[in-house]
Chain A
């Protein structure tokens, strides 16, 4: 059990507290005095799925712009303030949410809350056409090639040959069939006024969740949150997300140099009962492949809308990597893996989660996940139980359910060898 250690129990102050502010912002607080730092995560329910095809990349653009000033914060000041306090920040726009992750020393919690309240409540007031123009120019200077396959391969090629290209494949599987990142074609017609409307629709307290994990006292931290977010106005509920469009199977022939062959299937969304079995299946597949020294691996990821199971292989054509991939996948869809392999995979997943949740940033992400899926943040122990209960039949079932069909997306190597 994650909380089996008495010392760890003593350091954590109890189950996470959930509180909703009058303006609709949900706050989750989880006290842990071991590290001396605090993770502050602000999740806004806006992602690639909220974009029309003409707005491709706007969720990413909004995330970037939100970090560059506000009504009370000159451009560039946010990064300097955070660095001076010993903190760091990362932004994660995905299909269905954008998460702003900040990690600060406990002494700088007030500063982090000031910065995140500025982001949620006051960036729009400070957004100027000049800032917008500068961002557009920067993005256009750094755009990937216009041809989707080349952009895809560009991402894959920068990675180690044996490292999964999940972003590359996710770009193929986007519900609106465009990648996360802006493209020239969508930026050419973008207007400042149009972008402001997009911002107003989504950056609202009712569409946001603030998670704090780390070295604070819950009552005092909640009071700090209430103070900093008390003047963030509630303009009402956020716009509902659009229905996901059906996505036809896609095949991309790489044009930039890569030797990757990758296939991806649509699976179950995050929180579905099949999620642990799919993750274990990816590990079993990777382990089995490792035993034969073939450079082949697999990865399972799950979003709110859907999940993907991706397998990829690398190597020259004369080694027939794609055939090796098909052979291994055929075995998995017809024969249950050994109990020993499943138990080993389950133990590894369990242990990785336990290890990860020790860190404030990872724990904040996990609590946020729990809240999004189950409507409460205290599901971590249940997740571990789901790994413990896995059987070989579970893995055979998910393999035959999801991987027997034709892949949803396919990446083929650039060159005939």
Chain B
């Protein structure tokens, strides 16, 4: 009855549509701090308690393997070993996932929270004594033989970008497409497995309903002897240029642009991408819309894991607009560098970050993403919150320093364009960057004889 009266009283007035209603800035919620401990000099654990978490999620950041092709190939092959379905894990709906990047592999164990103990026990067994089925190597070879043709523009763009940016040093982000067919024995694989887990500094992050004491006790058998004293090799500096990959019949052009970022905290990086491409009224979509009058599909990926700090913009658009879209993107970045973000952009990015912050603990995936991003930066949740609640001028200064880096004339910009050469050659020539043309098949064969030219426009 009270509800009814309240509704009747407050709903009687007609809305005022002469102006949109104001939206006050969102509150930045307080989140409980994660617990950090180091079971060994080579391993740090960050555990975040989410009392009503439905999912238990444990992630391990492993260092990059040595840079020789054999070690890279073995690490890629390990994905098959690490993610091979285990009956014990499948029965409790637990999964193991692996993500490869130039900074090294990341292993994730995900399970329903009520089966966390069983999942840890099963995974500890699998990591301690991996069972390489007799048919595993044959399966791996068959999987390579059956790997798909180069018909996925985004996968080809990713592969080309990783190889060219890091001089073939990078682990492929799309391993099923990338494996060089080096002959590997079972012994090679087991050795690579042991080396992966026992070299360099490992960072573990845990999101679970457990208290810190319970988490510490539960993880001990799994993490006890991980990590090792050796340091990963430094990556070579990235190279600028324009690489065009010919994909016959490609219906559109897929365009990737990678720019180096300075080491920065993940919330600032997220705000940068938000103001650049995060919504339809953001800088780049607006500029592209004005320049081409055609919708482009826009995405971005930020990598902030030592030693890789980069922003990759991804566009998918009609090939006819290719040159105009690339020039518009360059110009938008230069304008942002010259004038900096405006107050409206900064306020919008700040509010978006505050909202995302509040939702961070609603899923294990989001909580883990935030936790690991902060752990890689050796930062904490309370420090991150302090940055979000800092005076606007301080937040603006942080963003301006990032924008400075994006527009640095000495910073390399690497373009990768995947398109049909017969349709795109003329338009691409108009960009003025002297593209190096490759065939999609050569990208897949891991044979990139690249010495990408210096970008003459910069």
Contacts and interface: CB of A to CB of B under 8 A. Distances in A.
Interface in B112-147: 112, 139-140, 142-143, 145-147
B149 A257 contact: yes
B41 interface: no
Interface residues on B, range: 35 or more
Interface stretch (A186-194, A215-223, A365-373): A215-223
A216 to B, nearest CB: 13
B292 to A, nearest CB: 8
Contacts of A223: 6-7, 10-11
A111 B20 contact: yes
Interface stretch (B245-253, B301-309, B376-384): B245-253
Contacts of A106: 26
B33 interface: no
Contacts of A343: 91
Contact of B363 (A255, A351, A355): A355
Interface string B293-305: 1110000000000
B279 A79 contact: yes
Sort A-B residue pairs by CB-CB distance and give the 3 closest, nearest first: A86-B351, A36-B358, A105-B26
Contact of A231 (B14, B22, B358): B14
B25 interface: yes
Contact of A142 (B14, B20, B148, B318): B318
Interface of B is mostly: loop
Contacts of B348: 83-86
A415 to B, nearest CB: 8
Interface residues on A, range: 35 or more
Contacts of A222: 3, 7, 11
B236 interface: no
B364 interface: yes
Contacts, number: 245
A378 B431 CA distance: 56
B270 to A, nearest CB: 12
B351 A79 contact: no
Nearest to B248: A257
Interface string A12-53: 000000000000000000000011110000000000000000
A87 to B, nearest CB: 7
B6 A315 contact: no
A141 B278 CA distance: 23
Contact of B18 (A72, A84, A105): A72
Contact of A145 (B153, B247, B251, B295): B251
Nearest to B11: A226
B176 A37 contact: no
Nearest to B89: A344
A258 B251 CA distance: 12
Contact of A150 (B10, B90, B148, B251): B251
B221 interface: no
Nearest to A315: B146
A157 interface: yes
B93 A105 contact: no
A74 to B, nearest CB: 11
Contacts of A87: 352, 355
A37 B281 contact: no
B29 A36 contact: yes
A110 interface: yes
25 contacts: A36-B27, A84-B348, A86-B26, A104-B23, A105-B355, A105-B358, A107-B27, A110-B21, A111-B23, A115-B20, A157-B153, A158-B252, A160-B174, A161-B151, A257-B247, A259-B149, A293-B139, A314-B148, A341-B90, A344-B91, A347-B112, A351-B54, A351-B55, A351-B112, A360-B359
Given A150-B251, A223-B7, A86 B355 contact: yes
Interface string A103-125: 11111101100110110001000
Contact of A83 (B282, B354, B361, B362): B282
Given A295-B148, A355-B55, 15 more contacts: A34-B362, A36-B29, A37-B26, A72-B18, A79-B280, A83-B352, A84-B347, A86-B351, A145-B251, A226-B11, A227-B15, A315-B147, A316-B145, A340-B91, A359-B363
B3 A37 contact: no
B61 interface: no
A148 interface: no
A144 B90 CA distance: 41
A100 to B, nearest CB: 14
Contacts of A73: 20
With most chain A CB atoms within 10 A of its CB, the pick from B15, B55, B353 is B15
A103 B247 CA distance: 38
